[in-house]
Amino acid sequence: MSRLRREGRAISGHAGARERSERKNGDDCSYWGCMPSKALLRPTELLAAVRRVPAAATAVTGVVDVAAVLRRRDAFTSSWDDAGQVAWLEDAGIDLLRGHGRLAGERRVEVTAEDGSVNALEASRGIVLAVGTRASLPPIEGLDEVARWDNRDATAVEEIPTRLLVLGGGVIGVELGQAIRRLGADEVTIIEAQERLEDGRELRGDELLVAVGREALTRDLGLATVGVEPGRGGFVEVDAHLRVPGHEWLDVVGDANGRALVTHQGKSQARLVGDALAGIDVDPAWADREALPRVVFTDPQIAAVGRTEAAAEEAGFDVLTVRADVGGTAGGALTGDGVGGTAQLVIDRDRRVLFGATFVGPGVAELLHAATVAIVSEVTLDRLWHAVPAFPTVSEVWLRLLEEVRAEDLRG
């Protein structure tokens, strides 16, 4: 394999360098994930949107204020201070013990504080594991010996590197790669796939962001004391009620169960488990399998929900897939010159309901919930014709998609 070389100034994210091992209430999403990354992306996304409209583009005479972007990022993370979330816990009547918590047998937890003192607790109803994940390190020779960024360093960046190498082309890699490039980096290179640099090239950068996946924080959680063995990546298997099989008192929510590594689904799982512990009858978790919404907040955005065409066909369904141009609507044309993208619906031919939807284009994340509602509610295509989108909006692409379905019906 050819070499990845990191050289030049040592530039590190201030919160990442200062508090890499510290966990906070809200953790990665609030402090090193969803919120700071979107705060970094949003200003340049707006700038690009204005530049797509010729009459407005002439008003753009400067460049983005990087220092102001970073200050706004700091505001969204409360400067990495979780006092506000702690206050919320107190208002809700929830006791907070800071320290390293471990299972110590059935329904028992021990929390070791920084001073070495141990608090022992016993649950009357159940225990919920919500430990989240951290960036994983791929088995690449020498990678563990070099200075590198993970998502925490990148979202907490204080100085923009001239050249950034990104190892991994997933959501974290492409979002943060775009943010760093638009905030002033001269060059960002994303390295993806298994045969990296096999043609002999050597890439050089001032910083290396490793974003190739996540692993659950279950290594030192005491799971062995109750006979539970995490699977690959440290994820803990759960049933449809989010319980660990054979342990009716033990639930796992969020990233650690490996079902859906997105914040909104973790929150939904927490609600289901909380209701169950309160004695409320709840349905099994299924939306994270059949109607999971996910968004890549690059420009253009990629928003999808439900099954892909390949997944639906692999499951044995008779599938109809239709596509339409996002820019082919009046709303799309008004958004700006050169605006394009693709909308796609994956349809169950037999029931004539949606399996999945994907939208690619500027701002299409706001189209996603309509598709989510349609999938969860199993709204038929005939019924969808009566959901008339306002003119002129990008949502008109729904009519274009339904027209494609009708054309397929006439051909078939």
What residue ranges in 203-352 does DSSP mark as E strands? Answer: 203-205, 207-210, 214-216, 243-244, 247-252, 293-296, 301-306, 319-325, 342-348
- Name the CATH architecture for the domain at 292-411: 2-Layer Sandwich (3.30)
Instruction: Compute the distance between CA of residue 206 and CA of residue 164 in angstroms, rounded to an integer.
Output: 6
Structure tokens at 17: 């360098």
- Cα–Cα distance, 222 to 104 (Å, whole number): 6
Would you report the helix, strand and coil content of the chain in percent, each value rounded to 5?
A: 40, 20, 40
Q: What per-residue confidence (pLDDT) applies to 66?
A: 97
CB 34 within 8 A of CB 27: no
What is the structure's pLDDT at 44? Answer: 96
Which residue ranges of the chain lie beneath pLDDT 50?
1-4, 6-21
The β-bridge partners of 242 are none
Q: Tell which residue, 179, 261, 182, 176, has the closest CA to residue 214.
A: 261
How confident is the model at residue 194, as a pLDDT? 66
Amino acid found at 71: R
Note the pTM of the prediction, 2 decimals: 0.91
pLDDT for res 13: 35
Nearest to 238 by CA among 213, 255, 224: 255
For the record, the structure tokens of 270 come out as 């927490």
The pLDDT of residue 16: 41
Question: Can you give the pLDDT at residue 22?
Answer: 73
Which pLDDT does position 140 carry in this prediction? Answer: 87
**Domain 1-290 listed as CATH 3.40.50.720:** no
Backbone angles phi, psi at 159, to 5 degrees: -125, 135
Half-sphere exposure (Cβ direction) of 386: Cα atoms closer than 13 Å: 4
The CA distance from 340 to 356, in Å, is 20
Max Cα distance, the chain (Å): 73
Q: Is 213 helix (H, G, I), strand (E, B) or coil?
A: coil
Q: Tell me, what's the pLDDT at 196?
A: 83
Tokens 């960002």, residue? 188
Chain centroid to Cα 144, Å, comes to 25
Same CATH topology for 1-290 and 292-411: the answer is no
Instruction: Give the DSSP H or E segment for 100.
Output: strand 100-103
CA-CA distance, 376 to 353, in Å (whole number)? 10
User: What's the CA gap between 182 and 44, in Å, rounded?
Assistant: 6
DSSP per-residue string spanning 315-344: TT--EEEEEEEGGGSHHHHHH-TT---EEE
Q: Where are the domains of the chain?
A: 1-290, 292-411
